[in-house]
Amino acid sequence: MTSPTALFAEKIVAAAYRPGPYRLPDGGTLDVYFDPYRLASDPELLTETAAALARLLPPDTEALAGPALAAIPLVTAVSLHTGLPAAFLRPAPKEHGTWRQIEGADLAGRRTILLDDTARSGASLLRSARLLRIGGALVGTAVCVLDREAGAATLLADHHLVLRALVCDPGGTR
Ligand SMILES: O=P(O)(O)OC[C@H]1O[C@H](OP(=O)(O)OP(=O)(O)O)[C@H](O)[C@@H]1O
Ligand SMILES: O=C(O)c1cc(=O)[nH]c(=O)[nH]1
């Protein structure tokens, strides 16, 4: 019997995988890529994705956070689903006004789950975790929609972070 998780993974793949070419930061190219904005722009699918992500949260989670851009709608949707407060990470501190790089909930001393759409090398999640930890958040788990199994879990484990994913798919690079 196909599990609900596997069925949902198939649904995500059908909705959000797009034909490439998609150029990766390391120079590789994907012929088929995962487009998180297909999920974020479909209210029903985003709601379902949020519910599925919420099931991966440790029970003691006190707050959620994620980096711009793709994680922002996911964090908001999971926050709406769970009632947990949310914070949003800018790529760089705002250059006027508040000067903040972390916007939203105060995370100091809170067990915060880092959310993102995709994990590939894990560099983006690690950068975000470091920023959150500097800000005083307690970060031990990252949750993503898709793990490309390209080193993220190992890199994050080296930095005391566990990675959980809704879908694991190495995809094909050339
Ligand atoms: O594990 P990594 O090798 O760091 O790759 C994954 C990251 O790459 C993507 O961000 P990207 O900067 O492409 O885009 P975005 O601005 O659309 O979120 C994705 O949203 C992850 O944050
Ligand atoms: O592996 C992918 O499909 C993928 C990687 C990435 O960094 N961004 C994205 O939108 N898709």
In order along its 174 residues, the chain shows pLDDT tens digits of: 577 778 888 898 899 999 999 999 989 999 999 999 999 999 999 999 999 999 999 999 999 999 999 999 999 999 999 999 999 999 999 999 999 999 999 999 999 999 999 999 999 999 999 999 999 999 999 999 999 999 999 999 999 999 999 999 998 777
Its ipTM equals 0.95
What distance in Å separates the CA atoms of residue 95 and residue 72, rounded to the nearest whole number? 20
Say whether 123 counts as a known binding-site residue: yes
Go through the domains of the chain in sequence order and give each one's CATH number: 4-168 (3.40.50.2020)
Say whether 55 counts as a known binding-site residue: no
Report the pLDDT value the prediction gives residue 1, as an integer from 0 to 100: 54
What is the distance in A from the centroid of ligand 1 to the CA of 1? 34
Among all ligands shown, which has an atom nearest to the Cα of 144?
1
> Exposed e or buried b for every residue in 133-167, given b needs 16+ CB within 10 A?
bebebebebbbbbbbbbbebbebbeeeebebbbbb
Say whether 118 counts as a known binding-site residue: yes
Q: Whose CA is nearest to atom 6 of ligand 2?
A: 118
Task: State the distance between the two ends of the chain, measured CA to CA, in whole angstroms.
Answer: 34
What is the distance in A from the centroid of ligand 2 to the CA of 67? 14
Determine the Cα angle at 147 with ends 146 and 153, to 5°: 150
Report the nearest atom of ligand 2 relative to the CA of 34.
3
Give me the count of residues in the chain. 174
Ligand 2, pocket residues at CB < 6 Å = 30, 33-36, 118, 120, 148, 171
Q: Could you tell me if residue 46 is left (phi over 0), alpha (psi between -120 and 50 degrees) or otherwise beta?
A: alpha
